[in-house]
Amino acid sequence: MSQHGLTLLELLIAVLISAMTMAFVVPLTTTFLKKQESERITDELYHLCIFARAEAAYLKKPLTLCGSSTGHFCDHNWAQGALLFIDNNRNHVFDEGELPLKYSAFNLSPSILKWKGFGGKTLNIEAFGIPFASNGSFTYCSADKDRLFSKQVIVSRSGRARHSHDNNGDGIDEAIDGGDINCD
């Protein structure tokens, strides 16, 4: 009668090989996931800004883009989501009777997404597609604030949106002012 199985030495070698493989795979996967999240969020915001500008001009109505946890009100929580709505009274608050156009859920916690603009806590687009005194930038930062994954979507005074770029070749995007993107 023969017995089949592993010796203790064979088992230890298999565990050691598995551990070494995981030691290489986990950091690569983490880096890949952080890069994917930063690109997904900034691409979504970029397209949302383009859509908002075009929709305001098409509808000939003022629109507001605000941070929203649920899509039912503006709570300026950009990390949870963004709500675009027709802002008939231009008060930058999603009031009863105003029409929501689009809600994008981001669910970024613990990563950071913030808006900094001249118009306050919201991006306000006039009926002709230009953000009236509301240009600025969205800043995305990963939870660990690793500068390699910090990105911005910049909205100009004419309402055009663009992604931040690595202008000096160091692998890190520069902020709207040309310096480092501030994640603090």
| DSSP secondary structure code for residue 30 in this structure | H
State which residues of the chain have pLDDT below 50: none
Cα 172 to Cα 183: distance, rounded to the nearest angstrom: 13
Which CATH topology does 37-163 take?
A: minor pseudopilin epsh fold (3.55.40)
pLDDT on residue 58? 96
pLDDT tens-digit profile of 142-157?
A: 999 999 999 999 999 8
Q: Where are the alpha helices (DSSP H) in the chain?
A: 8-59
pLDDT tens-digit profile of 171-182? Answer: 899 998 888 898
Cα dihedral sign, 170-149-181-84? positive
Say how far apart CA 163 and CA 43 lie, in whole Å: 8
Query: pLDDT value at position 41?
Result: 95
Query: What pLDDT does residue 146 have?
Result: 92
- Percent of the chain that is helix, strand, coil (3-state, to 5): 30, 25, 45
**Which amino acid appears at position 122 of this protein?**
T
Q: What is the pTM of this model?
A: 0.83
